[in-house]
Amino acid sequence: MNSLATNYFHLRNPWTIAWWSASYPGFGHISMGNYVSGFLLFFWEMTVNTKARVNLAILYSFTGRFELAKEVVDNRWLLMYVLVFIFAVWDSYRLAIQFNQLSLLADRHGQTLPPVSMSFMEINTLDRRAPWVAVAWTVVAPGLGHIYTHRIPTGFFLVIWWMAIAYHSHLFEGVQYSALGLWEQAKAAVNPQWLMYLPSIYGFAAYDAYVNTVEYNRLFEKEQDSFFKEKYQDPDFRMPTEEAADMYVTASFEHSLELELAISELEQMGIAPASICAVPMNAPQGNVRMFDTIHRADGLSMFDLPTVLGTILMLFGTMWGFMWTWGPIVWSLIGLFAGGALGFAAKYLLYRVYARKPPPGKLTEVVLIVGCRRAEAETVERVLAGHCALSIGRKE
């Protein structure tokens, strides 16, 4: 962890990573935090694909114009393209398996990260963020969702290249003509060679921003769990049944900085750390939440398949849109939403086979027990309530 980004091991589906490398070489490596390899493969794809006119050949092939596909492609560049393309897919799959093994070892050894990193350039903190907010900013412009989660190298890389591709593809001219219903002008305005880069960039950026946000939330929870176990589980702490204090105040919380602020305020009141016990709670096995949120994430995300299918159908919509009435912009959006809806439906049906219905409302993630004098109990309760306690009780 440094001021510009947090790089980390977490469990990934190797086939999903291989797919993003096939969608656009370099994306699989960037997703895993291999920035140098990923950026080099991205530059290679941009250069060789453009020189070989691979996108145009794909467009003509999938619209049945095979002679044009043969004429437009440059074989001197095409043969070079195939070799590195296969390597990018293979290497990202291999690395995903290796990183999964390292992730398991890190979990078993209980390794955590420091919660804050500062430099003269940036401040990076572990905190909870909403995955769908990251996706929403990505829809506005790929890369903004990564900046929101403080993955700065990927964020600015995607923003800059999205601007360049949008400019060379005449994306916004096509959007303007499509919004006005001028379908033929929209087809004529856009550059298909550059426009066909955009489905992969949008799909990957949304998927990666979502996954990063969920996994950063987990890192925050792990770090806070470790902090509580180290500092606020004193072996001399007496549980309420042992009657070591006049009064015990018990409260339930979600993982948050508010909880740490509440504990620090109690310490300022004069309550010793040995009189405070924080117990992180683990979700029961089998209680699967199908939609990850800022509050809960269990790794069985519904977002991977929708982004993959959305990217594929968006690409086909872009290609076939040149042959159909509404043009490539409208049909690419239709393909995106249709693929996303199909992916969500498939994941929903899959998870319903074994997923239990999640309990409503917010879940207790940390139980805090504070031993205090009878006269301090009301003040302790007020402090806890002021820092977003989900519930509070007391025992004399």
Measured distance CA(226)–CA(95) in Å, rounded? 28
Could you tell me the CA-to-CA distances from 145 to 16, 86, 196, 211, 383 in Å, in that order? 20, 29, 22, 11, 34
Please give the domain boundaries of the chain with CATH numbers for all domains.
14-224+301-352 (no CATH), 232-287+360-395 (3.30.70.120)
Secondary structure class of 87 (helix, strand, coil): helix
The answer for residues whose C-beta is within 8 angstroms of residue 39's C-beta and 6 or more apart is 26, 30, 157
Q: What is the pLDDT of residue 160?
A: 95
Condensed to tens digits (0 to 9), the pLDDT of residues 129-167 reads 888 899 999 999 999 999 999 999 999 999 999 999 999
Measured distance CA(157)–CA(70) in Å, rounded? 33
Q: What is the pLDDT of residue 138?
A: 94
The DSSP symbol for 396 reads -
Helix residue spans in the chain (DSSP H): 14-23, 27-31, 35-52, 54-62, 66-72, 75-108, 131-140, 144-148, 152-169, 171-179, 183-189, 192-195, 198-231, 257-268, 304-321, 327-352, 377-386
Q: Give the rounded distance of the alpha carbon of 100 from its chain centre.
A: 17
Name the nearest CA neighbour of 15 among 110, 108, 125, 89. Answer: 89
Name the nearest CA neighbour of 22 among 90, 102, 74. Answer: 90
Condensed to tens digits (0 to 9), the pLDDT of residues 242-258 reads 556 678 889 988 888 88
Condensed to tens digits (0 to 9), the pLDDT of residues 190-207 reads 999 999 999 999 999 999
Q: Please tell me the pTM assigned to this model.
A: 0.79
The answer for residues whose C-beta is within 8 angstroms of residue 143's C-beta and 6 or more apart is 154, 155, 156, 157, 158, 159, 160, 162, 205
Average pLDDT over residues 49-61: 89
